Structure 1
């Protein structure tokens, strides 16, 4: 979900002085709910960074895990629009959006998620205050209230929530302060009539015992794309009033944001040994759809080119030729998407002497209504004024998630300590998609109920799932310098799925007089009321995972470690099963096709060194890794022939085995007072060892590169502050980020049809002034300063068409803030 003033780009500007030294506000044995320390520069140089990657507070430089930390000071410098912008500060980590949706697409060490399938579990997990965020639609979190973000690179198979094969992003929000009244307000205005208002208020109710923190953010913009698609002359298969017509969109701005998000937090600390944080989360997203561009390459391999509506007609600035139909009927209101979230979470810590007991409980409800013109084109207009949508849809789901985690972190004060716990998550997902397939009217296809453009094709299914795990991880100090960590986790998962084949409302209800006007879309998910054609399937999985790590302090400033770990990602169902199958027929074959994939696994070998030099004015960390993936769950958009016509369907298979090796380097330096330099470098070399599906392929799929795995990524950032007497200080920043060419989605028919994202280098900058003690500030922010055009996602839709999303152009914003 977009929670930003402006849509997503690739680089992150920053402007602020180096932050001041801070320390953790709890002793090392206190678990992860503690507010982490901030990085900065003290009298001794770079401040210590406290991370929670081992479920207890530890110094980043002596933690035997590949983890990158971005604290609140760096977040304030970077002016990110959401947590995706912070990927710039993490090697081999990239953040994009799923094609056609405002949903997170994170990639790390050769694995990624490029689809919006509601049951698909991403290989890179996101945890917010220890609650596992199951939906990619709301993982692009607003950063205003974040205390620290950590990216754990590599499989997480012991301590963190549900298992992942790529890594995990853990986010800690700011806690109420019990001893002071305070607040912060921020306002931003910039390109595309974009503005954002953010505020936080801290209120101690009972000093040192009970406190309240209220946080809110509202963002709105007109969008940076224009409705300027062009088409025609249209070719039809048989007589049609649309034959021979041409046209273009009206050029209005589209793709704007309209988002409110907020949190209310109540912290209770009756004694020094007890802490309870109760939170309420709200999101109300009324943004326009993440508008795409019809981007089909020239040639007759795609149906849209044959019909005369392919992308070859469109030239010039791609941002001026996106398209949206503005349909308001047949379940599809493309002018508005909507995502609503309500969540309640309780995090409790109790220090019992030998250690701390932590309980994390939460419930989160998400309601998504996601209409869009997935072709990236608007309507085709006939001479009589009738409009035809080539392929509009509305993906709708209701998601309820419950989580409970109980753990114990010991603090024996000797050579051995451990963390152990139990984890439980239960989820209910109800899903329906309505599609209006107007292109069928151009190829001469018919329905029993009139034109395809007037009758939504509906597919509904649901899933009930639960995940239960027990885990333990212990660390033994052989000497003050040599430590061994061994951990394991055992996970049980159970999933139940029901669904019916795609069909028209009249067939689903059994009433030929009933249409979309008589029943809502999500009512068709009531399988008790409409049972015809419904099949069910269930599956259970159980997997052991583990981690072994050896760490050694070579000197007070040099620490090395080596780790072997295994992670897994659970098997799952496909919400698109049943597309274009004859309704009510071949139910046995349909049930077989609905079977889930098996889990995928990752075995990771890693070695790293973490160093500090020059009186802690230079910090350099280097990691080398090698990961073997087995039973990779691959999304393949496959062609499907029905009655002599070619369509497409998204299928998932445990199709591949792969290996990825690489290096990751991070450096922070303070060469002179007031100047902070940061840089990171990621290199990864990945390949498939095998790639076999039960479907016929036009070429050897294993010859393709891994999705979202550029060989090289690097970024560099410089921030400088210069005081101006007692008035305050001027601060400025420059940032550059490079991402190499990488595959976004793969065709099953030809390597020439694979969708690649080209290499790009993006520059950003900012300059500002702040008053004494950061009481107020104002700054000017510039993004994509060279005004580069580049795709951030692209999807091939079988043999029909290709559509893409582009990053924003050059933009500016002015931001003012004050604190009290």
Structure 2
């Protein structure tokens, strides 16, 4: 079956590339139609050409720059409010994660993402992309396997961000300012200036944003969560002739997040013989943290992007290239539940993200029957990740002042060297004015060298015979965290897909699509030593997906209805399993693990692992303008994303084969970790989700009052991984305001989460703990994230 699919993809590759006529990227995403009562035409670039949304054979959610400003979507993660089954999360101020169609991802996996992120058609790191957003033209959420028409392959989908480009002919711009009752502020703006009218122009935009992130107050540090982001962007557009145009963009970003970890539970006096509490009882709506050390994440990024189109008559030559230079620094207390009072376990991680990307494509100019494209893509990432952390080994859970622990400092050095090149081809055949076939394929060469050295240093321990603790001499040793035989990975995947589209009428189109994706396996960073290879490095992942869809426009295009159904089969889906207790073996005289598992739990770690899985579901979007003064849109998704009896790492403290983390930590079975067979969800998300938004306008002379609403619904769901029932969430934002006719200015008052729901959105499997050889320190808390409480604010904007 695999070889048969590969032959099909090779045949696609040989025929050329997709139905991509030689049109340039759309500069205008909406064509006003309000005067006729019809819905605005939305132009998307999901297929790397400019097409009307209703003509693209793919399930897509589009968020325009106008919507971003009017709905006060100040953070990239707010895009999920307009795209069902999309979840963008950040539980610690650093690790941005995307889930789409139930297919989830954790950036600490080290793999390519399940949902890829593009800025001006350049793949970018989610840790940089998912920050405060401004001066965007459009965001597109593309569902299903991606990679045939863009450089990287992703099984779940892609999110493309496109910034506004300079206007060659006119001066235009905007400025917007927002303030809220929860100490949040956002000031942003942009202006285009023609330098040589019709030929050369520049656009300058900037942002300053501040907020309290998750609204959590740390009772042990007297400190609140807070964030400040500053960014600026300069763009140049040059069009010396009708046949050539180029755009150059530079963006600077500085983000500083101090996010406190929220706790939930009664707290505890963790140490024997010591009444000191980890902290007070904490409910969801208390929004408190208890860790005694700091939590701070800083991102300094520079991004350069160049794109040009050159019309060669028979075809158009397209180029996009980019350079990203990011410095990510995290300093954090690993004892987030304060399981050991009066003790901090500080970890400092420095991650450089140096990436160069280039893609060159030759795209045929529009032909009545056959259009094609060929392309080449190259990407290289370098840098050295360094981690410095405490790795103290506690013998018994006595007060830290007793000193019954072996002090250990661990320094981890991880050189990053990842390279990808690929060639792609696509063809489009317009068999009749109604029937079109598009095929595309990409052959890639992926090389990844993963090495990691761990240096453990300790002054030793004098021994304590009363507790049976022997003398341990001082030591300093360096070892390879990744065995040499696992350090090099080379893959040559063939990915791509095909779509068949039939246009029954200009307002009714049906399509069928097939797509194949691939993600290379990776070794984990900082994996504890002396573990089995399956816990150190995951295998590669492959998936095949099938989709059918229907796109319609009704009532003279006052109403659109889009439907899709899909099925995707994963061979070795890569997932991350957090907080898994491990036993890394018997100790030598220096207190270092070198032998087979000895039955003692030595700590907890987040492991990558493979498991077969199936994803299937349906999606629908209905949008309308029943009358000229009323717009609405409703999107819903139902997805079942499940493992197929996969044997996966788990915590199974009671030995019944089901995940649980109640009581003393133990390892079930003879291995380094416990394993459980799972038919569970790929991510902690419900099967159903819904989003809706609307605006009603009233004309009063030269003024236009309006009311807007934004609603998202997520039902309750039980998480097998966390052993927790998540409550349903009904988030409602309301806006009321006044603007001048022609959208020249606007003032609006708004309330976010007007129902003031305070719901847990993520929770650890068990309480935060620190393992010892003689009973764990138990904090009495589970670590959570929760919806932010109700927030009121005001926004003013001016366009010119």
Q: TM-score, with normalisation over the residues of structure 1?
A: 0.81
> Does residue 165 in structure 1 map to residue 155 in structure 2?
yes
CA deviations on 1:555-584 (whole Å, 9 max, x unpaired) are: 12111001111111222221132x3x3xxx
Choose from 571, 578, 588 the match for 1:630.
571
> Does residue 494 in structure 1 map to residue 447 in structure 2?
yes
> Does residue 214 in structure 1 map to residue 181 in structure 2?
no
Give the Cα separation in 2 of the matches to 1:428 and 1:712.
Answer: 40
Query: What is the SS of the residue equivalent to 1:110?
Result: coil
Query: Which residue of structure 2 lines up, in the alignment, with residue 190 of structure 1?
Result: 180
From the superposition, tell whether residues 688 and 316 of structure 1 become closer, same or farther in structure 2 (CA, over 3 Å).
closer
Give the Cα separation in 2 of the matches to 1:472 and 1:54.
Answer: 13
Give how far 1:757 is off.
Answer: 3.7
Query: Which residue of structure 1 lines up, in the alignment, with residue 60 of structure 2?
Result: 67
Give the Cα separation in 2 of the matches to 1:674 and 1:769.
Answer: 14
Give how far 1:503 is off.
Answer: 2.3
Give the Cα separation in 1 of the matches to 2:729 and 2:260.
Answer: 22
Give the Cα separation in 1 of the matches to 2:725 and 2:348.
Answer: 27
Query: What is the SS of the residue equivalent to 1:671?
Result: strand
Give the Cα separation in 2 of the matches to 1:413 and 1:423.
Answer: 25
CA deviations on 1:390-429 (whole Å, 9 max, x unpaired) are: x443332111001010012211422111232111110014
CA deviations on 1:756-806 (whole Å, 9 max, x unpaired) are: 543211111011111232222111111111111112333447965742212
CA contact (8 A) 2:695 2:708 kept: yes
CA deviations on 1:541-563 (whole Å, 9 max, x unpaired) are: 11111211110011121110011
From the superposition, tell whether residues 225 and 92 of structure 1 become closer, same or farther in structure 2 (CA, over 3 Å).
closer
Choose from 742, 755, 759 the match for 1:773.
742
Give the Cα separation in 2 of the matches to 1:460 and 1:445.
Answer: 32
Query: What is the SS of the residue equivalent to 2:170?
Result: coil
Give the Cα separation in 1 of the matches to 2:458 and 2:204.
Answer: 45
From the superposition, tell whether residues 786 and 651 of structure 1 become closer, same or farther in structure 2 (CA, over 3 Å).
same
Give the Cα separation in 2 of the matches to 1:496 and 1:345.
Answer: 27
Give how far 1:725 is off.
Answer: 0.1
CA deviations on 1:586-623 (whole Å, 9 max, x unpaired) are: 6xx78x56864232122111111000011110011011
Structure 2 matches for 1:526-545, cutoff 5 A?
536=484, 537-545=487-495
Query: Which residue of structure 2 lines up, in the alignment, with residue 5 of structure 1?
Result: none
From the superposition, tell whether residues 721 and 452 of structure 1 become closer, same or farther in structure 2 (CA, over 3 Å).
farther
CA contact (8 A) 2:267 2:280 kept: no
> What is the alpha-carbon root mean square deviation over aligned residues?
3.3
> Does residue 205 in structure 1 map to residue 195 in structure 2?
yes
From the superposition, tell whether residues 483 and 434 of structure 1 become closer, same or farther in structure 2 (CA, over 3 Å).
same
CA contact (8 A) 1:95 1:106 kept: yes
Give how far 1:90 is off.
Answer: 2.0
CA contact (8 A) 2:686 2:715 kept: yes
> Does residue 657 in structure 1 map to residue 599 in structure 2?
no
> Does residue 564 in structure 1 map to residue 505 in structure 2?
no
Give the Cα separation in 1 of the matches to 2:111 and 2:735.
Answer: 39
Give how far 1:454 is off.
Answer: 7.7
Choose from 575, 578, 589 the match for 2:525.
575
Query: What is the SS of the residue equivalent to 1:724?
Result: coil
CA contact (8 A) 2:458 2:474 kept: no
CA deviations on 1:72-116 (whole Å, 9 max, x unpaired) are: 22222221022221222223222222x223443211122111x34
> Does residue 107 in structure 1 map to residue 99 in structure 2?
yes
Query: Which residue of structure 2 lines up, in the alignment, with residue 273 of structure 1?
Result: 243
Give the Cα separation in 2 of the matches to 1:762 and 1:338.
Answer: 30
Choose from 397, 411, 426 the match for 1:458.
411
CA contact (8 A) 1:483 1:552 kept: yes
Give the Cα separation in 1 of the matches to 2:474 and 2:336.
Answer: 33
Query: Which residue of structure 2 lines up, in the alignment, with residue 7 of structure 1?
Result: none
> Does residue 679 in structure 1 map to residue 634 in structure 2?
yes
Give how far 1:223 is off.
Answer: 4.9
CA contact (8 A) 2:236 2:247 kept: yes
Query: What is the SS of the residue equivalent to 2:127?
Result: helix
Query: Which residue of structure 1 lines up, in the alignment, with residue 583 of structure 2?
Result: 641
Query: Which residue of structure 1 lines up, in the alignment, with residue 44 of structure 2?
Result: 51
Query: What is the SS of the residue equivalent to 1:701?
Result: strand
Query: Which residue of structure 1 lines up, in the alignment, with residue 590 of structure 2?
Result: none
From the superposition, tell whether residues 224 and 425 of structure 1 become closer, same or farther in structure 2 (CA, over 3 Å).
closer
Query: What is the SS of the residue equivalent to 1:649?
Result: strand
Give how far 1:221 is off.
Answer: 2.7
Query: Which residue of structure 1 lines up, in the alignment, with residue 281 of structure 2?
Result: 314
Gaps of 5+ in 2: 1-19, 461-472, 588-599, 659-675, 771-780
Q: TM-score, with normalisation over the residues of structure 2?
A: 0.83
Structure 2 matches for 1:416-427, cutoff 5 A?
416-427=370-381
> Does residue 689 in structure 1 map to residue 681 in structure 2?
no
From the superposition, tell whether residues 399 and 31 of structure 1 become closer, same or farther in structure 2 (CA, over 3 Å).
same
Query: What is the SS of the residue equivalent to 2:751?
Result: strand
CA contact (8 A) 2:518 2:541 kept: yes
> Does residue 713 in structure 1 map to residue 666 in structure 2?
no
CA deviations on 1:466-500 (whole Å, 9 max, x unpaired) are: 11111111110110001111111111100001112
> Does residue 731 in structure 1 map to residue 706 in structure 2?
yes
Query: What is the SS of the residue equivalent to 1:616?
Result: coil
From the superposition, tell whether residues 616 and 593 of structure 1 become closer, same or farther in structure 2 (CA, over 3 Å).
closer
Give how far 1:342 is off.
Answer: 0.7
CA contact (8 A) 1:276 1:348 kept: yes
Choose from 78, 81, 89 the match for 1:88.
81
CA contact (8 A) 2:217 2:225 kept: no
Query: What is the SS of the residue equivalent to 2:289?
Result: coil
Choose from 118, 121, 129 the match for 1:127.
118
From the superposition, tell whether residues 533 and 716 of structure 1 become closer, same or farther in structure 2 (CA, over 3 Å).
closer
Give the Cα separation in 2 of the matches to 1:505 and 1:264.
Answer: 50
Give the Cα separation in 2 of the matches to 1:304 and 1:649.
Answer: 22
- Please identify, of 536-545 and 86-95, the stretch whose mean Cα deviation from structure 2 is larger: 86-95
Give the Cα separation in 1 of the matches to 2:561 and 2:607.
Answer: 43
Give how far 1:275 is off.
Answer: 1.0
Gaps of 5+ in 1: 1-26, 230-248, 328-333, 382-386, 516-526, 748-752
CA contact (8 A) 2:266 2:282 kept: no
Structure 2 matches for 1:254-269, cutoff 5 A?
254-269=224-239
Choose from 544, 561, 565 the match for 1:620.
561
> Does residue 548 in structure 1 map to residue 498 in structure 2?
yes
Give the Cα separation in 2 of the matches to 1:453 and 1:763.
Answer: 52
Query: What is the SS of the residue equivalent to 1:773?
Result: coil
Query: What is the SS of the residue equivalent to 2:644?
Result: strand
- Please identify, of 394-403 and 642-651, the stretch whose mean Cα deviation from structure 2 is larger: 642-651
CA deviations on 1:294-349 (whole Å, 9 max, x unpaired) are: 3469999xx89999899895234544322342x4xxxxxx2642110011111111
Query: What is the SS of the residue equivalent to 1:117?
Result: helix
When the two structures are aligned, how many residues end up with a matched partner? 720
Give the Cα separation in 1 of the matches to 2:92 and 2:278.
Answer: 16
From the superposition, tell whether residues 255 and 453 of structure 1 become closer, same or farther in structure 2 (CA, over 3 Å).
farther
Query: Which residue of structure 2 lines up, in the alignment, with residue 323 of structure 1?
Result: 290
CA contact (8 A) 1:39 1:71 kept: no
Choose from 104, 127, 145 the match for 1:137.
127
CA contact (8 A) 1:768 1:777 kept: yes
From the superposition, tell whether residues 701 and 33 of structure 1 become closer, same or farther in structure 2 (CA, over 3 Å).
farther
Give the Cα separation in 1 of the matches to 2:497 and 2:32.
Answer: 28
Choose from 164, 167, 171 the match for 1:174.
164
CA contact (8 A) 2:107 2:113 kept: no
> Does residue 817 in structure 1 map to residue 797 in structure 2?
yes
CA contact (8 A) 2:519 2:541 kept: yes
From the superposition, tell whether residues 722 and 452 of structure 1 become closer, same or farther in structure 2 (CA, over 3 Å).
farther
From the superposition, tell whether residues 647 and 40 of structure 1 become closer, same or farther in structure 2 (CA, over 3 Å).
farther
Query: Which residue of structure 1 lines up, in the alignment, with residue 309 of structure 2?
Result: 349
